[in-house]
Each structure stands twice: as structure tokens, then as C-alpha cells.
Structure 1
Amino acid sequence: MLIKMNLYNMWSLCLFLMSVMFLGLSLMLNILDMSMLLEWNLIDLNSVSLVYIVYMDWISCIFCFVVLFISSMVVIYSKIYMGEYNYSSIRFLFLVLMFVLSMLLMVLSPNLVSILLGWDGLGLISYCLVIYYSSMSSYLAGMITCLVNRLGDIGLLISISWMLSYGSWNFMFYLFYFSENLFYLLILSSFTKSAQIPFSMWLPAAMAAPTPVSSLVHSSTLVTAGVYLLIRFFNYLVFVNWFLVFVGVLTMIMSSICASYEYDLKSIIALSTLSQLGLMMSCLFMGMVDFCFFHLLSHAMFKSLLFLCSGIMIHLMVGSQDIRCMGSICFSMPITCSCFNISIMALCGFPFLSGFYSKDLIVESSSYSGCNMIFMLLFYLSLGLSSIYSIRLLYYSGFSSFKGLPYLNLKENISLMKYSVVILSLLSLTFGCMYMWLVNLDMKFMVFPLYLKTLTFFMMLIGMYLGYELMNINLNIPMDFYYLNGSMWFMYSYSNLVFELSYKNSINLSYEMNWGEFYGGLGLSFYTLKISNFIQGYSFGSVKGFFLSMIIWLLFLV
């Protein structure tokens, strides 16, 4: 038993050492401006050779560093969170390791077939992790997650069969020869994995998984796989697309508004992930691929920290995730609350934290991208909205009066959890500026008028103030508005509200019918029956009416 329980420590150390190795390799490849191809000949059959290729350049290596580093912190954190003497905790550890392995398989391969292996591995193991607690809600959430990710696999499978006509699945050598439609299939696949509109519904549902898994999934693995694939396939001729930029901005605004009216701690953080993914996608489709990758890495650091801190809060609140039951945790959990503050400020884009460098670069560069006024207003509005839900979350959990159960003993006796949270908070403070120094992303000279330069900072401050006011003001908002935001703008919940708004007065059917049924088979059969009854009644009518309709049609024809 002792050997089994030391598996967590052993694997955490292994992942950490591997992450340091990848960091060193990434710096070396970046300085020497070179990349490495490792070929592994699996089988030779006459003139056909099946070769597995690993492609290492500084982009893939630094991404592997981030994935492995966060995984090592999550594994050491899980030792306490999942229970040291729980027999299923070893199964949980191996599921997480398989998840990380699938991600590495996807990141390091230039071959679309092996990318599909990693891609499918992520989908399958994420299903196993989401249903880990074996409740009915977990099963439903796992089903939504699995089915939406299956949709993305369709685009990837069609791309694989299409690429056969180009002679090879090693896409890196053919990027400027592919048909545009092939890129659109890959964009569709990435949109399902990265949960853009209209595939956003699975991201909050995946919160049924244990918190360490949520930290891993939402920071550096599952949701970022789609963005990483698009960075790899980047082609300026196809990817600079203003319609797709607008989809990204719409995802940002939708998720931010929904997070502002949400009371579930993990759901708020999941929706904030969706907001940041919208920012990455809109940045990518404006052609700023380097800044997109920068934000991908810096976001991974502070988002994993945010989830791990929320996990400690849930752990000590005896499983409660309602932020209305929390409060004053800054007195009982000072270390956790400090790290939680750092991650939230980095998420808002507070100056000189990790999130600020990437977010500020993206927003300022978008001013040079030739977009119109409405788009700029939406972009800055989404910045303000991200501050609103962040500060609202901070005040509810940290600074309002405690509303939980009186017998809760909120002491930070969490030993190993503390170390992972503190190390990640140090990286959330320093990773942004370190990355800029290493990669020279700040070698771009941009001149702005004073109001435009300070507008991002002012939008953030206004958002913080409104988030504080939103907690204090009792708004008389109708319940329908909460339904709208709680169901992510009716993206995955058939709601009676739409029925009330649209069809209650016009069609005399049972009240229980949902709007999907009007456009589905039942609605179609209903309308067909109505039309056939009308035609039957018309044909059984008088000859006078029949002749009159003939004359009307003749007049139309003339």
C-alpha cells in the first residue's frame, strides 16, 4: 500500500523533470533557430514503409513544458484532494497520466493520423474523467462532452481522407497547397474542441469532473488542443477571416454575460475559460498567431491556479460550490485567498501580471488590424465584462460576510496542496514578462494616442467597479433573464420560455412541447396533417369555389 501511495509523488517528480527538460530543449531550439525530426520506422512492407514522426521545434517544446509542469502540480495536489487511502485514487492517477500522454501525442506530431490518435485519446479519457463520480448528472455531462467532441472528429477524419490525394499526411510540407475547404473542416473540428459558438454547451457541463481534472482540462489540455491545431495549420491566405473573428468575439461576450449571473463557483471559472478561448480565436483569425500562442501559455498558468484554489475552497466547504454560501475566506484561508487574488487579477489583465502582457498586446494590435468601430466596441466591452465577473466572484467568496454552516472548520491543513498553489502563483506573476524576454515579442513599435493606450486599463477598472456594485445592488431583473443566461442562451436546454415567447398564442398544442419539436419530426407531421386536411376540405367543397380559384390563378398567370 505504501508503494502505491508513493506513486503520486513519483509521477509528479517525473512530470516535473520532463517539463524542465522540455523547457531547456525549447530555449536551445529557439536560440539556434532550428527544429528536430525524429523518425521511428514501424514496419517495412516491400516499397511501403510506415513511419512515426516526432517533430520538435521551440513552439511544441514550450507547450509541452507548460502541459507537463501544470500536470506535475495537479498530480501532487490530487494526492490530498482525491483521498490518500481511497482505492480508486490510483485509477484516477493513471487516467490523468493517459490524458497527458494523449496531449503530448497530439502536440509533438506533424502527422494528421497520429494527431487523430491523440485527439481521440483526449475525447475518450475526458469522458472517463467527467463520469468519475458516477452520479446521474456526471453521466449526462459526460455524454454531452463526448458527443460534441465526436462532431469535431468528423472534420478531422474527412481531412485525413482528403489529404491522401496530396501524397502524405505530414501536413507541415503542404500548407500552401491545400484546398481552402480542407482548412474549413479543420476549423470546424477545432471549434468543437475549443467550445466556440455554437458548440459551447459542453464546457460548463464538463465541470462534473473532479477539480484537479478541471484544472488540467481548462488550462492546457483539452480546450487548448483546438487552438494549438489551428496555430500549427496557420495559413494567412485562409485564416484571416472577419466572420470567424466575429464568432470569437460573440463567444467572449456570451460567456462573460452568463458568468455574471452564475452562482456556481466552477461554472463561473469554466465560462471565464470560454471567454479567453474566444479571445484567442479572434486573435488567431486576425492573423496574430504569435500573440495567440503567447496568450495560450500565460492563460494556462493562471487558469490552472484559479481552479486549484477553487478546489481548496470546495474541499474545505464540504463540497459546496455555491458562492453565496462562502465569504470571508481571506481570514480563514489567507494563502489560498492570496493566490486566488493573484489569478483573478491576472485574468482581468491587471498591469504587470502574467495575463496583462498577452492581453494588452492582443488588444493594441487589434487596433492596427483594420477592424470597424462596432467590432472595437465589442472587443473592449468583452474586456470590461471579464473584470465584472472576476471581481464579483472575488467579493462573494473572499470579502463578503460568511454565510456558510456555523460548524465548518476552515483551517488550511492542506499540506501538499499549498505547495502546488504557491508555485503556480509565482509563475502567474512572472511567466508573461519572462516569455516576452525570451521570445522577443515586444520588438514591435506601436504609437497610440493617450486615450487609446489607457482605454484597456480604464475598461478593466470600470469592470471591477461594476462587479463590486453588481454584488451590492438587488436588481429587479425578471426570472426569464436568469433562465436565458443560465442555459447559455438556450444553446443546450429546450426551454418553455421560448415556447411562451413565440408559439403559445399561435399554435394550439400541448404546453409541454418544446421548441425543438416544432422544427423536428412532430412539428413537420403536424403541419403536413393541417395542409392535407385543408386540401381535402377544399376538394370536397362546392364547384363555385373551385371555379373561383381557377379564375384567380388565371388572372395571376396573365
Structure 2
Amino acid sequence: MNKYSLCFVSFFFLFFFMLLNFFMSIYFIMNNMVMFLEWEIISFNSMNLVMSILLDSISLMFMMFVSLISSSVIMYSKSYMSSELNLSRFIILVLLFVFSMILLIISPNIISIILGWDGLGLVSYCLVIYYQNMKSYSAGMLTVLSNRIGDVMILMVIAWMMNYGSWNYIFYLNFMSSDLSMKIIGLMIILAAMTKSAQIPFSSWLPAAMAAPTPVSALVHSSTLVTAGVYLLIRFNSLLMETMFMNLFLMLSGLTMFMSGICANYEYDLKKIIALSTLSQLGLMMSILSMGYYELAYFHLLTHAMFKALLFMCAGKLIHLMNNNQDIRLMGGMSLYIPLTSLCLNISNLALCGIPFLAGFYSKDLILELVSMSNLNFLIFLLYYISIGLTMFYTIRLLMYLMMNDYNLMVIYNLYEEDYIMLKSMYMLLFMSLISGSFLSWMIFSYPFMIYLPFNLKMMVIYVTLLGLMMGNLVSNMNIYSLNKFILTYKLSFFLTLMWFMPSLSTYGLNYYFLNFGQKLLKNIDMGWSEIYSGQGMYKIIKYYSLVNYMYQMNNFKIYLYSFILWMMIYIFIIMLL
């Protein structure tokens, strides 16, 4: 099988799997069905190790979206990675990634969840270091070490749940929420989800993971790795509402949304801007989850997956055409030379902003109206609305740089639109970015949400969006001198560009010191006195005595003579003492 035939086989398999999930999810929704399948693998001490599968409307619909996006990404990779010698290895890694996510989605059992969870972490490391340079290795280590914290939390949940006699957490959620000693499980699940979905203070790995190939970024940042934490919290939602940490969690997710929106306005790397926008949307999902609206978080998770995958695909094509250059200051005038790709990019960007009747509008508008209705303090209210304004801010700034400015890379233009494999894979997601918000709002909610608010509060979303549009337009047109006035001070801009110094804290502060401490432990204990007095020590003592024994066995006369004289001297000495 050559490298291209594997692409086609994977594409068709995932596409038909998506159609199967689509029809099954409609059937399950119409009949209000839940299917639970269980296979017992081993039983010990009244503790059953079982493989369980939970099929309901949530898992089936999510699997439909994951398989649709991954089929588009594999088709896109056929062209994007065409110069790659080991394309088959890349496709197999992507398929492993998708399989891990599907295992996580259908698991009502914490044991099978750790398999999918760890599978995502391991395969994401392999994909981030795919290009095998120092930057990729550093980003891969940061990604995998940050995610290990979440893995440890899941392992502790597994140990803690031995108290119940089964790992099928789905049956125990109501009991857990009333059991005071089990609230610790809720805290561990929140911490695990915060590491995987890159909330503050674990945010720095997400922009670093942009070292991966762009098709991987499209898959990772739309529907797989970063959404695993949100999905886990959606499953554990009834337990989380009872924990006392939800206010802190709401605050941290709101700050993540705010921080990533500001940082995206200071960034010039195209992929990092899109990564920070993913972080902002994850903060939005997590914050609405912490308020108890898990259906809304799930709704926004699905609509966001569509336009974010499309956005990354368009960015990948732009980077290809720009000779692998990712700096938006060198791009410009794209709408004149690659109109179809520009159309996809603009529609996905506007859907991200929540422009009415595109995919993002239905979920974002509903979330913000519920925030306006709920009994929250003014700070959270401000964080939500400022973050929505910042989304429009960095999107318009990006569009101005890409579409309106002059082309600044080189004299000879090599922009072309003839790569129809990439375009076809993008069109499928373009169609979904236009209609998914509308049809999901009918599929997920069995009853219509009717929210009545005062006129100015109802129009607040439009106000902050227009304000963000004006600010984005203003900043993108500034020259360097007026931009310096806008930035206020060098130190403030440095602080905001570096994500509130979180990469420095997590990379050098935590990982470096922990790893350095670990190296000292290894050197002084494992390879030092512990080695001398245990492993190597025993070896050296036995070696010494075996050498002595060997010399005796050689029947050397001198040895016997010396030993005879020594023993005689000891004997005479003892007699003299007595």
C-alpha cells in the first residue's frame, strides 16, 4: 500500500463512520435512548475490571464531529504533507490520535478513560516533535510534562474510586456529590481538565504545541486534545456543582479567556494567534461549565470545532504559499490572489467572532445572555464581555494584516489557488461552519431558550463586537510611532506578549527546577551513596572476596606462608595478653 492509498482508505473509513454516527445520534435523540455495553475483563477481590461503552446523543454527536474533522484533515494532509517521505507514519499517528479520542468519548469507566487520556498525551508528544528540531523537542517536553499532572490526577481518582467497588463513575455521580469525603474526586477531575484544556496556570503549552504540522494543529485545537478536558467535565457535571472550588474555577477560566484575548493582539505569528483564540474559547467553555450549563458548553464545543479546524487549514495553506513563513507582517493582499481560501478564512474568522447566523453566533449569544441573567458579580460579567470584544479585536487585526495590507515578502509572487485537494477538504468544513450552529441548536436543546432582557443588555454583545471591530481596525492601521503610544510602555507590552510570563514560570520555574532537582537526586542518591552501598557495593564486596578465594585456590606457597606467619603472630599475641 503506497502512502496516498492509506490517505484515501482512512478518509473514506472516517467519513462513513461520521455518517453512521450522524444517523445513530438522530435516532437516539428522537427515541431518548442511552445504550450501555459492558465487557468484564478480570475480577479480583470483588473488584471488576470492565471495558464499558456508553452510547448516547452526546457521545455519538461528538464522535460524528471528530470523525468529520479528522477525515477532512487526512484529505488535507495528502496535499499538505505530499513532500513528506514518511506520510504513512504521519497518517497512522493521526489515526491513533483519533482512536484515543473516540475511546475517551465512549468511556463511562475511569479505567478506559485513562487509556484514551494517556493515548492522547503520548501521540500528541509524537506529533509535536514530528519535525525533529530543538524547538519541537522543547515544545513536546513542555506539552507532555504539563499533561502529566492531569494524568496523575486521573490515576489518583482511580485509586480513590476503589472505595466504591467499581470504576464505572457514571453510576456513582449522585452519590459522590452527597458524600463529603468523595468531593476530593471533583477537585482532581477539575485539575485534570485544567491541564488538558490549558487553563491558567497550565496555559503555556498550548501555543508551544504549534510546533506540530498544521493538519495536526487543526485536529488538536478543534475537536481532540484540548477539548478532552471540557468533555470530561461535561460527563462529571453533576458532581462538580457540589464542590466548593467552582467559584475559583470560574475565576481562573474567565482570566484565561481574558489573558489569551489580550495576548493574541500582541502576537505576529499566524498559528499562535489562532492557538490563543482557541485558548480564549476554551476559557469560555470552562467558565460556562463552572456555572452549571453543561449543555451550552457542549453546544459551543461542537460549533467551535468546525470553524477552528477550517481556520487552521486556511492558515496552513497560507503558510505553504508564503514559503513556510508565519509572520503576518509579511502577508497582505491575499483576497486578490487566493480568493477561495480567503473566503474560507474570512467566514471562519467571522464565525469565531459570533457574527449573526454563522455557527459561533448561536452558542456565544446564548452563553452571554445567560451570563447577563445569572446572579454573578460585576468582575465576571466584565471578563465575559471584554473577552468577546477582544475576540473581534484580534480577528479584525488579523484580517486587516492578511487581506488589506500590501504583500511584503518578496518581489516575485508565487500565490496560487490550484491546490484543489486542500480546497475540497476545506469546503466540507466551510459548509458546516455556516449551518452547524443552526441545526445543533435544534438537536441539542429539546426546548427553545427564550431569554428576555432589557434592550441595552440584549444589545451588549453587538456593542462590544462593534467596539472590538473599531479597535482592531485602528491598531492594524497604526504606524510604529503611534503604536508605541498605544502600547504605553515597553514593560507592559513585554508582560502581555509573554502570556503574563506563564511560559517562563512553567518551563523554567517549575519544569527546570523539578528536573534539575531530579538530576541531583539521580547523581547523589541513585548513582551516589545508594549505588555504592547497595547495587555496586554488593558487587564490589563479592568481587573482592572472590579474588581472595581465587588466590587461595591457586595454592600459592607464599600466601600460605604469609598466612601461617600471620596466624602464629596473632596466637603469640593472645598468649602474651593472657
Q: TM-score range by the shorter chain?
A: 0.7 to 0.9
1:103 aligns with 2:101: yes
Separation in 2 of the partners of 1:165 and 1:233? 18
How far off its partner does 1:373 sit?
A: 2.0
Matching residue of 1:482: 493
Match of 1:456 in 2: 461
CA-to-partner distance for each residue in 1:400-444, whole Å, 9 max, x for gaps?
111111223101121210011111111101000011122336612
In structure 2, the residue matched to 1:206 is 209
Q: TM-score, normalised by structure 1?
A: 0.87
Alignment correspondent of 2:12: 13
For each residue in 1:18-69, what CA deviation from the matched residue of structure 2 results, as whole angstroms up to 9, or x when unmatched?
0110111111111111111122343578977643111100000000000000
Q: 2:184 matched to 1:181?
A: yes
Give the AA of the match of 1:489. Answer: W
Mapped to 2, the partners of 1:401 and 1:270 lie a distance apart of 25
Secondary structure of 1:6's counterpart equals: helix
- Alpha carbons of structure 1 residues 518 and 66: separation in structure 2 relative to 1, 3 Å: closer
Q: Which residue of structure 2 lines up, in the alignment, with residue 418 of structure 1?
A: 423
Aligned position for 2:129: 131
The one of 439, 442, 451 aligned to 2:444: 439
Structure 1 residue aligned with 2:546: none
Residues 239, 285 of structure 1: 8 Å contact kept? no
The structure-2 alpha-carbon separation of the partners of 1:515 and 1:274, relative to structure 1 and needing over 3 Å to count, comes to: closer
Q: For the residues of structure 1 that align with 2:286 and 2:47, how far apart are their CA atoms?
A: 39
Measure how far apart 1:519 and its partner are: 13
1:290 to 276, 295, 303: 295
Query: What secondary structure sits across from 2:250 in the alignment?
Result: helix
Partner of 1:357 in structure 2?
362
Residue 320 of structure 1 corresponds to which residue in structure 2? 325
Structure 1 residues 25, 73: closer, same or farther in 2, change over 3 A?
same
The equivalent of 1:500 in structure 2 is none
Deviations 1:459-508 (A, max 9, x none): 1111011101011123213332332122211112269xxxxxxxxxxxxx
Specify the alignment match of 2:556 in structure 1.
none
Alignment partners' CA distance in 1, 2:77 and 2:151: 30
Larger mean CA deviation between 442-451 and 197-206 belongs to 442-451
The match for 1:122 is 120
| Alignment partners' CA distance in 2, 1:492 and 1:211 | 22
How far is 1:392 from its partner?
0.5
Does the Cα contact within 8 Å between 2:195 and 2:202 map onto a contact in 1?
Answer: yes
1:301 aligns to 2:290 (yes or no)? no
Name the structure with the higher helix share: 2
TM-score under structure 2 length normalisation:
0.84
Aligned to 2:520: none
The SS at the match of 1:351 is coil
Paired amino acid for 2:477: N
What is the aligned partner in structure 1 of residue 139 from structure 2?
Answer: 141
The answer to whether the Cα contact below 8 Å between 2:46 and 2:165 also exists between their aligned partners in 1 is no
- Encode CA deviations 1:145-187: one digit per residue, 9 max, x unaligned: 0000001111111000000011110000000222111100110
Query: What's the counterpart of residue 232 of structure 2?
Result: 229
Structure 2: distance between partners of 1:46 and 1:164: 11
Larger radius of gyration: 2
**CA–CA separation in structure 2 for the residues paired with 1:446 and 1:454:** 13
* AA in 2 matched with 1:351: P
Quote the Cα distance in structure 2 between the aligned partners of 1:398 and 1:166: 58
State the one-letter code of the partner of 2:155: L
Change (3 A) 1:53 1:381: same
Distance in 1, Cα, partners of 2:509 & 2:235: 42
Alpha-carbon distance, 1:239 to partner: 7.7
Secondary structure class of the residue paired with 1:55: strand
Is residue 2:55 matched to residue 1:70?
Answer: no
List aligned pairs for 1:144-543, cutoff 5 A: 144-178=142-176, 179-235=182-238, 236-238=241-243, 241-440=246-445, 443-473=448-478, 474-476=482-484, 477=487, 478-493=489-504
Of stretches 279-288 and 472-481 in structure 1, the one that deviates more from structure 2 is 472-481
| Partner Cα separation in structure 2 for residue 71 and residue 261 of structure 1 | 31
The answer to whether structure 1 residue 56 and structure 2 residue 59 are counterparts is: no
Note if contact 1:436-1:442 (Cα within 8 Å) is conserved in structure 2. Answer: no
Post-superposition offset of 1:367: 1.6
Give the Cα–Cα distance (whole angstroms) in 2 for the partners of residues 517 and 204 of structure 1: 19
**Counterpart contact for 1:240–1:287, Cα < 8 Å:** no
AA partner of residue 405 (structure 1): M
Structure 2: how far apart are the matches of 1:246 and 1:263?
Answer: 28
Residue 238 (structure 1) shift: 2.7
Query: Would the alpha carbon gap of residues 186 and 408 (structure 1) be closer, same or farther in structure 2, given more than 3 Å must change?
Result: same
CA distance in 2 between counterparts of 1:21 and 1:8 reads 20
RMSD, aligned CA: 2.3
Identity of aligned residues (%): 49
* Deviation for aligned residue 1:515: 12
Which residue identity lines up with residue 165 of structure 1 in the other structure?
N
Cα distance in 2 between the residues matched to 1:299 and 1:59: 16
CA contact (8 A) 1:240 1:286 kept: no
Shift of 1:310: 0.3
CA distance in 1, matches of 2:514, 2:42: 52
**Would you say the 8 A contact 2:47–2:165 is kept in 1?**
no
- Aligned residues, how many? 503
Q: Is the 8 A contact 1:259 1:389 kept in 2?
A: yes
Amino acid across the alignment from 2:18: S
CA distance in 2, matches of 1:61, 1:87: 35
Supply the distance in 2 between the matched residues of 1:284 and 1:240 (Cα, whole angstroms): 13
The answer to whether the Cα contact below 8 Å between 2:154 and 2:189 also exists between their aligned partners in 1 is yes
Match of 1:82 in 2: 81
Stretches of 4+ aligned residues off by more than 3 angstroms: 41-50, 513-522
Given residue 493 of structure 1, which amino acid in structure 2 is its aligned partner? S
Deviation at 1:521, TM superposition (A): 11
For 1:153 and 1:520, how far apart are their aligned partners in 2? 18
Aligned-pair distance for 1:381?
A: 0.8
Q: Report the AA paired with residue 475 of structure 1.
A: L
Q: Separation in 2 of the partners of 1:220 and 1:267?
A: 18
Q: Distance in 2 between matches of 1:355 and 1:97?
A: 28
CA contact (8 A) 2:359 2:437 kept: yes
Q: What are the ranges of 5 or more consecutive residues in structure 2 without an aligned counterpart?
A: 177-181, 518-578
> For 1:106-156, what per-residue CA distance to the aligned partner results, in whole angstroms no more than 9, with x for missing partners?
110111011001000000000000000001100000000000000111111
